[in-house]
Amino acid sequence: MFGAVRYLGHHLPGGPEDQSAGSVIRMIVVRPNIMGRLIGPPPGRVKSAIARACQSLRFGQIGRMRESLRIEIAGAGIGGLSAAALLHDGGHKVRIWDQFDAPGPVGSGLVIQPVGLNVLDAIGIGHDARSRGAPITRMRGHEADHGRPVLDVRYDAGAPGRTGLGIHRAALFDLLWQACRVRGIPVETGALATGRDGTRLCFADGRLSDAGDLIVDATGVGSPLSPLVSRPLPYGAIWGNVDWPETALPRDELRQCYRAADRMIGVLPLGRPDGGAERAALFWSLRHDRVAAWRKTPLADWRAEATALWPEVAPFIAQITDHGDMSLALYSHGTLRKPYSDGIVHIGDAAHRASPQLGQGANMALLDAQALALAIRHADGQDPLALYAAARRWHVRVYQLFSRVFTPQYQSDSKILPWLRDRALFPLSQVPPLPRVLGALVSGTMLPPVASLTRR
C-alpha cells in the first residue's frame, strides 16, 4: 500500500495548481521512505491504474478540467505548427521544439484538399494560402502508348465550386510559421528529440524540456517518440520545382502519364508561391532500389526517356539541369492502433503513413491537429486523447485502406493491375454515381474527418 501511494506521489502533475494534492501525498509517504522500501513498489496492475488516474487528473477528468494546459510540441512541420496555432487559440500554453537551427520545409509541392483548407481557414491563413497556390479542379492521367485516359476525377462532381489547392511546401510552411509567430508561440531550435521522460522531452544535446501536461509528437517519419513500425513501399518518387512554361497543359489540373505501373511522370501546378513567377512541381516515380542507378545515369538520358513517355512534359523537364534539382521521397504504410499514451499524443506521419496516391498526407496532419484541439476543448470530464483517437479513427482507416488498394495500380511492377485499371476500373469509374464518390474521396469528405467532435 505504501509503495502504491509513494508511486502516486511521484506521478502526480507538478504544476503550482497541483501542489496541494501532490505535496500532501509526498509529505506523507516520500519522507518515511524506509517503509516504502520495505514494502516495495506497487504491483503492475495497481501501477497501471494509478498512471491512468494521474493522466486523468492531469487533464482535469477528476474534478473540473483545467482552463489551460502546458503543451510541448516536438516538430515544426505542417502538423506541429498547425497544432500549435489551434491549441494556442484554445487558451493553452504551447511551445514548439525543432531539430533544425532555422526551421524550414522539406519537400516540394503538395495538394491541400478541401478538408485541409477548412483547417487553414480556422487558423486564419486560408485566404493567403489560396493566393499563393493554384486551385486544382481535376486530376487526370493517361496511358503513354495509346493516350487512353486512365484517371479522371473532378473535385466538383456532386459539389459545385469545390477545389483542391496545389501549393509549394515552402509557401505553406511560411504561412503557418508566421501564424505561430504572430501568436507569440515560443520556438526552440537546434533541439533534436531523442525520447521523453514522462512529459519532458529529451534532446540529443542533453537538454530537457520543462515538465508539462502533454507532449505532441509531430516529428513525422522516423519519429523517435512513436512506436509506429510502417511497411516500406517499393516505389517512391523524385520531385523538382520548375517555372510554369509555355504549354498547353491546364493550370488547374494535376496531370499524370503512365506506362503500365512502373513508369509515371506528373505535373502539379503550384501557383505563385512567393508572389512572383508561376511554378510547378515535376515528379517521376522510381523504385527505391534504383535511386543510386538513376543518380549515375546521364541526365540527358533520363530527360529523353521522360520526354518520349510524355512529349508535353518537355518544357518542364528541360529546366532540370542537375540530379540535385530533384529530391527523393520514400513512402510507407502503417498506422498506430492507439495514437497516444500517458502524457503523449502522436499526429501526422508519427501516427499514420501512406503513399501519396490520394493526396492526403498534409491533410491528415492538418486534420489531426484540428481534432486534437477540438478534443481538448470539448472533453468535459472525458479523456481528450481518447476523444481525439476516436474522432480520427475511421477517417484514417478508410483512407489507409483506399491508399493500399490504389497504390499498386499506379506504382508497382504488376502487369495485371494496370491492365485492369485501364480496361475495367477506369470505365467503371465514369459510371454514375462513382464520379461523385471519387470526388468526395479525393476531397477528404468520404467520411466526416472529425465527426464525433464537430457535432458537439
For residues 80 and 14, membership in a common domain is answered with: no
Could you tell me if residue 242 is inside a domain? no
Phi first, then psi, for residue 125 (nearest 5°) are -120, 10
Confidence of residue 412 (pLDDT cuts 50, 70, 90): very high
For residues 147 and 113, membership in a common domain is answered with: yes
Mean pLDDT of the chain: 88
Confidence of residue 53 (pLDDT cuts 50, 70, 90): low
d(CA 219, CA 229): 14
pLDDT digits (tens, 9 = 90+) for 34-49: 334 334 445 555 544 5
3-state helix vs strand vs coil in the chain, percent to 5: 45, 20, 35
For residues 80 and 195, membership in a common domain is answered with: yes
The alpha carbon of residue 252 and the mean position of all alpha carbons in its chain are separated, in whole angstroms, by: 24
pLDDT surpassing 80 at residue 30: no
For residues 360 and 216, membership in a common domain is answered with: yes
For residues 127 and 225, membership in a common domain is answered with: yes
pLDDT at 196: 97
Could you tell me if residue 143 is inside a domain? yes
Could you tell me if residue 406 is inside a domain? yes
Number of domains composing the chain: 2
| Residue range of the domain that includes 33 | 2-58
What would the mean pLDDT of 427-443 be, rounded to a whole number? Answer: 96
pLDDT surpassing 90 at residue 22: no
**Which cell numbers hold the place of 263?**
513508369
pLDDT at 132: 97
pLDDT digits (tens, 9 = 90+) for 251-282: 999 999 999 999 999 999 999 999 999 999 99
For residues 401 and 378, membership in a common domain is answered with: yes
For residues 175 and 74, membership in a common domain is answered with: yes
pLDDT at 96: 98
Confidence of residue 50 (pLDDT cuts 50, 70, 90): low
Residue 411's domain is classified under what CATH number?
A: 3.50.50.60
Could you tell me if residue 343 is inside a domain? yes
For residues 348 and 391, membership in a common domain is answered with: yes
For residues 179 and 54, membership in a common domain is answered with: no
pLDDT surpassing 60 at residue 8: no
d(CA 335, CA 149): 33
d(CA 71, CA 93): 6
pLDDT digits (tens, 9 = 90+) for 394-407: 999 999 999 999 99
Could you tell me if residue 265 is inside a domain? no
First to last CA, the chain: 41
The DSSP line for 33-47 is: HHHHHHH-SPPHHHH
pLDDT at 357: 84
For residues 139 and 195, membership in a common domain is answered with: yes
Could you tell me if residue 324 is inside a domain? no
Could you tell me if residue 254 is inside a domain? no
pLDDT surpassing 60 at residue 12: no
pLDDT digits (tens, 9 = 90+) for 205-257: 999 999 999 999 999 999 999 999 999 999 999 999 999 999 999 999 999 99
User: Which runs of consecutive H residues, i.e. helices, occur in 271-346?
Assistant: 291-296, 299-309, 314-317
Q: Is the peptide bond before 433 cis (omega within 30 degrees of 0)?
A: yes
Q: Taking a C-beta distance cutoff of 8 angstroms, is the pair 271, 261 a contact? A: no
d(CA 412, CA 164): 26
For residues 425 and 369, membership in a common domain is answered with: yes
For residues 24 and 164, membership in a common domain is answered with: no
pLDDT surpassing 90 at residue 6: no
The percent of residues in the chain predicted with pLDDT above 90, rounded, is 80
Could you tell me if residue 280 is inside a domain? no
